[in-house]
Amino acid sequence: MIVSTSANVNVSQLRRELLRISARYPVDVALQKENIYRKAKRLVVMDLDSTLIQMEIIDELAKLAGVGREVAKITKSAMGGEIDFRQSLVKRVSLLKGMKTGLLQQVYDNAAFTPGAKKFIRILKKLGYKTAVISGGFDFFTSRFKNDLGLDYAFANKLEVKDGLLTGRVVGAVIDSEKKADILQMIARNESISLEQIIAIGDGANDLLMLEQAGLGIAFNAQKKVREAASYSISQRNIDTILFLLGIDEKALVDIV
Ligand SMILES: [Mg+2]
């Protein structure tokens, strides 16, 4: 629905009001500025855990390492923005010290995509969008999901391994929320795409900077703090509902699928 507004309308106040309404009823309300960029998006960057897949990989690794409860508690606080992401990751990875790398494959094999994820990516690719996953998780997984889905880019942390065992450390700088935003900018420069033409999707507090940078930043089934800070919020089971925000409706999909 396109609504004309006067120039002096307070958009953030209007957005807050709509968010309040959508919290009360089982609907998502998105307020978008109608301009040339709305339908000219060219790059989609996504978080992995609890966005493209339906789990937090580090929590699954921790269960196999016998530290499931401790790690899950830290993950929850980090995603809710209560604690620093970088410190939380260093702590959680340290608890995985001594874990056999073979168990990573087991977690990958049991990972489930978010409903609609494969369809979502397939349609984006058909429409010529570039796709990227930027994860605060681990490259062992993102490289495999990149392959599975045919994504253009994948970025994540690298777990240090010695003699087939995790050392409890990551190699190089941790991909935290600043780094996620930096990588988004780097891909944009690389592809000569303006930030206005980027869609970013994520659920955690460490995605907020990345969401803010993009022309369309979407909190997907996100925690309250993220939902309220992001410009757009979707609370639907299926991730492909985001296609509607790109102006791709059911009618158009008939031609694509
Ligand atoms: Mg996430």
Q: How far is the CA of 51 from the centre of ligand 1 (A)?
A: 5
Residue 107, pLDDT > 70, answer yes
Distance CA 166, CA 146 (A): 23
Q: How far is the CA of 28 from the centre of ligand 1 (A)?
A: 20
Distance CA 59, CA 76 (A): 10
**Which residue is it, tokens 């009823």?**
25
How large a percentage of the chain has pLDDT more than 90?
A: 73
**143/30: higher pLDDT:** 143
Distance CA 79, CA 92 (A): 13
* pLDDT given for residue 197 in this prediction: 92
* pLDDT given for residue 31 in this prediction: 67
pLDDT tens-digit readout, 64-90: 999 999 999 999 999 999 999 999 999
Report the 10 Å Cβ neighbour count for 30: 16
**Which residue is it, tokens 């089982």?**
26
Q: Is the residue at 77 inside a domain?
A: no
The residues, ordered by sequence, that sit 6+ positions from 186 with a Cβ below 8 Å of its Cβ are none
Quote the mean pLDDT of the chain: 90
Q: How far is the CA of 200 from the centre of ligand 1 (A)?
A: 12
Q: What is the CATH number of the domain that holds 202?
A: 3.40.50.1000
Q: What is the pTM of this model?
A: 0.86
How many domains in the chain? 1
Q: Is the residue at 205 inside a domain?
A: yes
In total, the chain counts a number of residues equal to 257
**78/250: higher pLDDT:** 78
Q: Is the residue at 5 inside a domain?
A: no
Highest mean pLDDT among 16-20, 88-92, 123-127: 88-92
Q: Is the residue at 42 inside a domain?
A: yes
Residues spanned by the domain of 207 = 33-55+113-161+169-256
